[in-house]
């Protein structure tokens, strides 16, 4: 039987897959919340689907489960502080309270994001200690700015990698 590689190496290997940074938000009668995320992607063009992988411990997951909706807010280089807040475990209700946002299609869209997608939850798929949320895209928008990047366990600004 093959022995499993160490999880630190796993993190290091996939940490070299440079990504943008997003905040996935959701809001419902039970409250609102959001988390910094990079394990997301577009999934299908016909129909328009996207997916986000949630740690089963993420407090945003039960909100998405309850409301059946989530938004993907793609962050700009100006929003690194915001990324840190949404990656933290401060009380969930406080996360959006101090951030300028508006509701579109029933989901919180963060002001200053370089792009966003509003999604209606279609399916939750178990994946180890994570859950894959597949969403039907019901709204899209574009903002301005350059993308905040994540590589090798830290944030980077766009020109650094050029």
Ligand X SMILES: Cc1cc2nc3c(=O)[nH]c(=O)nc-3n(C[C@H](O)[C@H](O)[C@H](O)COP(=O)(O)O)c2cc1C
DSSP character at residue 94:
H
DSSP character at residue 13:
H
- Cβ burial of 68 (10 Å; 0-12, 13-18, 19+) is middle
Q: Compute the least distance from the CB of residue 48 to ligand X, in Å.
A: 20
Phi-psi region of 128 (alpha: psi -120 to 50; beta: other; left: phi over 0): left
Q: Compute the least distance from the CB of residue 55 to ligand X, in Å.
A: 3
How many helices (H) does the chain have, and how many strands (E)? 4, 12
Residue 71, token pair as written in the block: 């938004």
Q: Compute the least distance from the CB of residue 74 to ligand X, in Å.
A: 12
Nearer to ligand X, 39 or 122 (CB): 39
- Say how far apart CA 114 and CA 75 lie, in whole Å: 6
Nearer to ligand X, 137 or 148 (CB): 148
Q: Compute the least distance from the CB of residue 3 to ligand X, in Å.
A: 27
Nearer to ligand X, 2 or 80 (CB): 80
DSSP character at residue 79:
G
Nearer to ligand X, 2 or 81 (CB): 81
- Say how far apart CA 39 and CA 162 lie, in whole Å: 23
Q: Compute the least distance from the CB of residue 16 to ligand X, in Å.
A: 14
User: How crowded is residue 29: how many other Cβ atoms within 10 Å of its Cβ?
Assistant: 7
Nearer to ligand X, 21 or 71 (CB): 21
Question: Can you give the binding site for ligand X, defined by CB under 6 A?
Answer: 21, 33, 35-39, 53-55, 58-60, 87-89, 92, 150
């Amino acid at each position: 039987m093959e022995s499993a590689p160490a999880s630190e190496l796993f993190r290091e290997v996939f940490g070299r897959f440079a990504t943008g940074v997003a905040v996935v938000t959701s809001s419902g009668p039970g409250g609102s919340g959001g988390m910094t995320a990079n394990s997301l992607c577009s999934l299908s063009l016909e129909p328009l689907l996207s997916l986000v992988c949630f740690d089963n411990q993420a407090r945003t997951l039960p909100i998405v489960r309850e409301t059946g909706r989530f938004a993907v807010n793609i962050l700009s280089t100006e929003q690194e502080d915001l990324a840190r807040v949404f990656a933290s475990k401060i009380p969930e209700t406080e996360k959006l309270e101090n951030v300028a946002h508006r509701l579109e299609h029933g989901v919180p869209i963060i002001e200053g994001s370089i792009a966003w997608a509003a999604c209606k939850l279609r399916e939750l798929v178990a994946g180890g200690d994570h859950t894959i949320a597949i969403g039907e895209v019901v709204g899209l928008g574009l903002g301005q700015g350059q993308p905040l990047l994540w590589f090798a366990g830290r944030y980077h600004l766009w020109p650094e990698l050029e």
